[in-house]
Amino acid sequence: MATPPNSLEKLIGQLFILGFKGESIDQHHPIAEDIRERNLGGVILFDRQLAEKRDQNNITSPSQVQALVSSLQDYSSSTPLFVAIDQEGGMVRRLKAKTGFPETNSAGNLGTEDDATGTAIHAACTAKTLHKLGINLNLAPVVDLNTFPENPVIGKLQRSFSAAPDTVIRHAAIWIREHTKEKVFSCLKHFPGHGSSQSDSHLGFTDISNSWHTKELIPFKTLIQDKLAHCVMLGHLYHEELDPEYPTSLSPAVVNTLLRKQLDFQGLILTDDLQMKAITDQYGIEEAVCLALAAGVDMIIIGNNLEYVPDVLQRVIPAVLIAVKENRIPETRIHTAWQRVQTMKEQLGPQPQ
């Protein structure tokens, strides 16, 4: 059992996964300072830097990524970092063939073929690649149902295995088991279901009040019951009946009542990137972070890709401390989230040398 740091600031630092700029780092890089001085919990890798319209960022070759991940872990003396990536396959993958990585199929194609062996081969290939690089958290599989095939961010990108819950569950379970063999965590997304949305939460407010159906919970519920959910990612979605005030990623009703109590999920809950416009159009980053933690979220992703803010952790930790002092976030909430992060990290295998 990990011993908590002696300052609340250091506990809070563990509750963030940050993106950063560059294919290599040194001790003066902002992300190195965040890891060393603010006890940052994790990082996320991107192949492109969208804020600056650059086609290159953290990923240029297998050997470069391996060296980058190793240097990131070297700055984390007390506890290993989560090193996260979106490597779903198909159109959503950060490790691409053009930079020397294996080509893998989309969830949509795998679900259409509905061949368990084929899915296992693709999932194993992805998991082995990530493990060799030292990447220990794949923000996949998507378990959204493909209920609206023209969905700009799910259906059109072939990110969903199927519109049928059983098919999604079957292939997601194979995906997760193959990753588990390689000591790579998986993440179910995007709770409570993004498949029926008709807009893209990267670009703005996404209302699923009239399109969402409770059957979209079935894959989440079944995989949680089957002990296959390492962590669950919240989508930035609005549903007036689930919560008339807050989007799902900031909603106590969605986190505590629906996910924790009704679905009995006791593992790690994280947000999708808080810099998506579905959030930033409505909230400042400090306010969104505090609302997410107060709602019951354990880890927050700030991609630093849609917008690049190198000092974002320096900005949000003081905001969280003030919220704790004012009891807008109970201090016990920080300790509970920290403990969930550590419990998951204790399951990490030895990091590749």
Catalytically active residues, by annotation: 202, 272
Describe the strand order of the beta sheet including 137-138 as a list of residue ranges.
268-271, 231-234, 185-191, 137-138, 82-85, 42-44, 16-18, 300-302
Which tokens is 161 given?
């295995």
- Is the link from the previous residue into 190 a cis peptide, with omega within 30 of 0? yes
Cα angle, residue 299 at apex, residues 192 and 353 outer, rounded to 5°: 120
Q: What are the φ/ψ torsions at residue 77 (nearest 5 degrees)?
A: -85, -30
| CA dihedral sign of residues 69, 317, 188, 260 | positive
- The SS3 call for residue 235 is coil
Residue 257 amino acid letter: T
Q: CB of 23 within 8 A of CB of 56?
A: yes
DSSP string of 267-317?
Answer: SEEEESPTTSHHHHTTS-HHHHHHHHHHHT-SBEEE-SSSS--TTHHHHHH
Closest CA to 307 of 85, 19, 30, 103: 19
Closest CA to 218 of 270, 167, 153, 253: 167
Closest CA to 234 of 292, 185, 282: 292
In sequence order, the β-bridge partners of residue 185 are 137
**The residue to which tokens 């703005």 are assigned:** 204
